[in-house]
Amino acid sequence: MSNIKSINSKINKISYKWKKYHYTFYFDDEYLYKNWKGNDSSGSRIYTLENLNPKFDKETFTDQKVIKNMRISITLLLFSVVFFFSDFNNHIPLLVPFLIIYSIIFFPKSIRRILPETWVYIFDGYGKHAVSLLIPDDESDEDKTKRKQFEKNLSKQIEKAIECACAI
């Protein structure tokens, strides 16, 4: 179940938990606010709406570090099986347990994050990445509607901010 929440009927706030952090995004007439809080750190960032692009992009991908860790884990596990049945096991008796333990350390971390994640990217006026919003895998239909409404409202507010900036 996703943790996306709305603050009122004009959805201008969403929040979700990702890894060990809780993220909250909300906006007003001039700014987009990003707050995060985790076990070891917290912070906030403010983006001026007039400097953001009202067109958002979505991308789905798996982190390359996860794929690398998964490959290392499987390779170490295979090496441990090969070494177990070889003559090296008699000469280096602790090698197989070491390889198994080391592969077990990598494997659970990787298996939890192997599924691709989908992100909404918000760019600045120059096309440079400014901020990302996660689309949770377990997003319900209600949460999906709220998130899309948040994106739509944010896009409209960015357009208004750009118009006001151009009028000055």
Q: What ranges in the chain are assigned the alpha helix state H?
A: 64-84, 88-91, 95-112, 141-167
Angle (CA) 60-6-117 rounded to 5° is 10
Question: pLDDT tens string for the chain (168 positions)?
Answer: 344 443 344 778 998 888 889 999 999 989 999 999 998 889 999 999 999 999 999 998 888 888 888 888 899 999 999 999 988 888 888 989 998 998 888 788 777 778 888 899 999 988 898 999 888 888 888 888 999 999 999 999 999 988 887 766
CATH for the stretch 13-57+118-167:
2.30.29
DSSP 8-state secondary structure symbol assigned to residue 50 = G
C-alpha 15/C-alpha 13 separation (Å) is 7
pTM above 0.95, yes or no: no
Between the alpha carbon of residue 77 and those of residues 91, 111, 144, the distances in Å are 19, 15, 40
Question: Residue ranges per domain, the chain?
Answer: 13-57+118-167, 64-112
Q: Residue 49, Cα to own-chain centre: how many angstroms?
A: 22
Closest CA to 94 of 80, 107, 82: 80
| Structure tokens, 121 | 């990217």
